[in-house]
Structure formats: C-alpha cells, structure tokens
Amino acid sequence: MTLRRMILVAMAITIVFVQEQVLMIVPNVQLTVALLVIYARVFSLKENITLIFVYVLLDSLYMGTLNPFYMTPMLIGWSLIPISLHIFLPKTNNEKTLALFGLVFSFVYGWVFIPFHMIQTGIHTWWPYLLADIPFQIVMGVSSYISILWVYQPLVRLIRQEMEKLEHQFKPIYHPHEK
C-alpha cells in the first residue's frame, strides 16, 4: 500500500468513525453500511480489511470495550461487506442491487453476534437473541437500504474524482533521473 493510499484509508476510517459517533443518539441508524459498500468499490480488498480492522479497534478503544466477544463479531461482520461484494457482486454498480445487499447484510450482521453472546452469557439457546435483535435489525436494514440507494452513486463519483485529484497532486514535478 502506498503512502497516499494509506492517507486515503485513514481519511475513510475517520469519516466512518465520526458519522457513527454523531448518529449514536439514534439506535442502529447509521451510514456505516453505505460507507463500507462505497469503500468496497473504491479501495482494494486488502485496503478494506485494513480499514475495517483499524475502525473496529478504534471504535472499541473509544467505547471502552476491548472485549473480544464484541470485537470479534464486529470484525467478522463488517469484513463480510467487502468480502461478499468481492465474491458475489464484483462488478455491480447498481445502487438498487447494492441497497438490497445492505438490507440483507444488516440482518446477517446481527446474526454474527449470536454465537458470541451465547458463549459470553452461557445461555445456549439461540432464538431469544434472534428475536430480541429483530427490531434493531429492521431499523439498521431500512437505514442501510435508504442510505445506499441515495448516497452510493454521488459519493462513489465524488470519492473517485477526489482520488484522481490527489493522484495528480502527488505526481512529482521533478524526476531525479531527468536531465
């Protein structure tokens, strides 16, 4: 990863982190899914996994819960976005398809936590967790669907433009081997 790509990834992490903190007042309403779907289209898989790892670590540090029972499912859950987009929808740019992906993903993300909650609490029945989480998954699913549907195309376009500008700015004006 080049230095300028690392800077871009760092900026992307900041955006995800800040929006999540700002929207924390409304439970499960977030732009994280939309942003990670957008990042999956503008960054490589390796960059996306790095971004998610740092974001989860930062989020856990800030929230004071460096708890493996939360960090591990978060890491697995968020990583599913770039991995599944990379495998199942590698070339899709259709915001309606991606919005549907975001809706389904919101439920899958909640399910990833179930085995970890079961281990942590020692209650080995899975359905109460599944039932209790459904209202939150609906809120997350609806907010993910709507945000992807509306912001995916303009944000992907904007980020690509800014990335091109940055690439252009970083072009060396003097080449050491030139005479």
Partner 1 sequence: MKLKVILSVMVILLGGFVFVLLPSETGDDAGDIHIEVIDADGQTVLTETLSFDADDSLYDVLNRHIEIETRGTSGGRILLSIAGLSTDFVHNFIKIEIDGELSRSGIDQTNLKDGSVYTFSVDSVR
Binding flag, residue 104, partner 1 (CB under 8 A): no
H-only helix segments in the chain: 3-22, 32-42, 45-63, 68-88, 95-121, 127-169
Cα–Cα separations (whole angstroms), residue 78 to 163, 166, 174: 23, 27, 42
In contact, 31 and 151? CB cutoff 8 Å: yes
- Shortest separation between residue 26's beta carbon and partner 1, angstroms: 10
Two structure tokens written together for 49: 């996994």
Helix 68-88, helix 95-121: angle, nearest 10 = 150
By CB under 8 A, the residues from 106 to 125 that bind partner 1 are 119-123
Q: Which range in 9-17, 55-63, 144-152, 159-167 contacts partner 1 by CB under 8 A? A: 144-152
Binding flag, residue 132, partner 1 (CB under 8 A): yes
Give the x-and-dash track for 34-73 against partner 1 (CB under 8 A): ----------------------------------------
Query: Smaller CB distance to partner 1: residue 1 or 119?
Result: 119
Binding flag, residue 172, partner 1 (CB under 8 A): no
- Shortest separation between residue 142's beta carbon and partner 1, angstroms: 4
Contacting residues for 61 by C-beta, under 8 A, at least 6 apart: none
Query: Smaller CB distance to partner 1: residue 14 or 94?
Result: 94
